[in-house]
Chains A and B, each alone.
Chain A
């Protein structure tokens, strides 16, 4: 039983900027239906939203996979964008390469990756310049 999981997959589209966040919203709905506590749902939704938006803004979209286990939620965000040259720098609060038109929408505080770190129990970034970025996050259910 403990190995059973619910697996959800989403294509994160960069074309439709207006609907960015729809994958994290679906996950939020699903977790609520499963009766998962609201603070856990909130952490998953925030971690995933920030990652989803980053794929839209910085990487031309990508793929999100979410696995819901009885004790944790695993989130994998994979894109074939430009990659991150310096991961430690990207993780710093306030670091952002968001262009002006994106900042005008309210993005670009350089707080997305720190928010993902804060709202997950484990987070790992794999990135290669010119190849893409994959981010693994685990949120343990309390």
Chain B
């Protein structure tokens, strides 16, 4: 088990919004929002390259502790504003979803 603060550190990630340090128990990779809604496990850090405002609605529905934008993707203005307003942890890393997942996996095990 790890948490959002630790994840930011090990991914060398940029913090776009940090609201609350939440526990992370696993990860989920996906860009199709309806898959994320139905499949992201509780406690999963969500790795994606989607950067539009709909990501915030999905993060709330899936109740993920953090959204990790991969491949150096930056959120559009609507998304970062929404994450700040709703208290969603949003970070960005240069790593791809696989690279980021491996690092998280090693930290958790």
Query: Chain A: residues with CB nearer than 8 A to chain B?
Result: 18, 20-21, 24-25, 42, 45-46, 49-50, 53, 105-112, 114-115, 118
Contacts and interface: CB of A to CB of B under 8 A. Distances in A.
Contacts, number: 55
B23 interface: no
26 contacts: A18-B53, A18-B78, A20-B57, A21-B57, A25-B57, A25-B60, A42-B61, A45-B61, A46-B61, A49-B57, A49-B61, A53-B54, A105-B52, A106-B31, A106-B32, A106-B33, A106-B48, A106-B58, A107-B54, A109-B35, A111-B34, A111-B38, A112-B34, A114-B38, A115-B34, A118-B38
Nearest to A49: B61
A38 to B, nearest CB: 9
Interface residues on B, range: 10 to 19
B54 A109 contact: no
Interface of B: 31-35, 37-38, 48, 50, 52-55, 57-58, 60-61, 63, 78
Main secondary structure of the interface of B (DSSP, over half): helix
A109 B48 CA distance: 15
A111 B57 contact: no
Given A21-B57, A106-B55, A50 B34 contact: yes
